[in-house]
Amino acid sequence: MYGRLRPLLFCLAPERAHNITFGLLRAGGSVSLVRKILRYIYFRENSQPVAFAGLSFPNPVGLAAGYDKYGTAWRGLSCLGFGHIELGTVTPRPQDGNPKPRIFRFPRQEAIINHMGFPGKGARFAAKMITQPGSSLERDQIILGINIGKNKDTPNEIAVQDYLACLRLLYKKVDYFAVNVSSPNTIGLRKLQGKEFLNDLLQILITERDRLRVDVNKPLPVFVKLSPDLSDHELDDALEAISGSSADGVIATNTTIQRENLMISNPGIRGGLSGKPLKDLSTSLIRKIHHRTAGTLPIIGVGGISSVDDAREKLDAGAGLIQVYSGLIFKGPGLVRELVENL
């Protein structure tokens, strides 16, 4: 079915196409009969659970942050077979993000460039959406994470306050946090991956997480989402800060600003590149992280997964879980079922 719908969706501007499919999933997720139909088509009850960072994931396949930025469609998305869904990126205060157009689609390369800049309605709104009436059944059947970031007008020197605000507002609502310090679409954000910034940020966040965790009596792991564009020296510094703070793992990787593997007429488009051209770059970083930490640091692998072989490559490199996003756009929700059945 998606093969028939895709040409129609791709006739539309990328952000408009996203809004339409997102709206359908949001509406469908609010109707019990639609949720049952979706689960019948896509969900696999006999999938193998995965123990990861103190949590039990129903299967190894998750949805990467960026699709459900507001936390409004997760009920529909949870019926497509995912073992976990990562919402966000959420900032403490609402903001519009970067000017449009800010998503660019390249079907021949199965690639996307986005320059979104964390548009959203804020952490309070996301908290409300996660606990909307009637959501308890779906909530019990899936791991729900949330990707948190700073508002674009918050200086890096006090960015920790934004991350703390999100942590405090959402810790009772989700199963894990992903600390986004690697998006290329918020000016200066990637500087937070530097050793001093990241060490201070994580030390404060983990201390506060440990205090709040007493109220919820569950692991509540904190992962750090890293850029694929880190040099070896920058990666070593980031891993030192992550290990020193007792953060629970990493998500590798975010989008890239590199364009070497993207054959398009306008390589100067601003934003982060995802999809197939990111695949080898993200896998390489996963392999480096796994080697440098002797396999002791849990890794969620994301970047360019559009087939079972792509997913296995990430797992063989050292990832314990995987996430998809761009592959979902080009292949459709059947990709999730294919991955769950074959991994």
- Write the single-letter amino acid at 38: L
| 261 exposure class (CB count in 10 Å sphere: 0-12, 13-18, 19+) | middle
* β-bridge mates for residue 324, sequence order: 63
Closest CA to 150 of 95, 213, 211: 95
Active site residue 183: yes
Sheet holding 272-275, edge to edge: 103-106, 111-114, 272-275
Quote the CA–CA distance of 339 and 39 in Å, as a whole number: 16
Cα–Cα distances in angstroms (integers) from residue 201 to residues 87, 135, 168, 176, 341, in the given order:
21, 33, 15, 17, 39
What gap in Å lies between CA 121 and CA 93, rounded to an integer?
7
**CA 268 → CA 260, 262, 290, distances in Å?**
12, 11, 33
Active-site residue (options: 47, 78, 182, 183): 183
Rounded to whole angstroms, the Cα distance separating 336 from 205 reads 32
- Return the closest-CA partner of residue 206 out of 171, 235, 236: 171
Pairing of strands 222-226, 84-90: unpaired
Cα–Cα distances (Å) from 263 to 15, 108, 109, 268, 282, in that order, read 22, 9, 8, 12, 19
> What is residue 8's DSSP assignment?
H
Q: What tokens appear for 9 in the block? A: 């969706």
Residue 304: which of 116, 112, 80, 67 has the closest Cα? 112
In DSSP notation, 74-119 reads HHHHGGGT-SEEEEEEE-SS-B--SPSP-EEEEGGGTEEEE-----
Instruction: Catalogue the active-site residues.
Output: 183
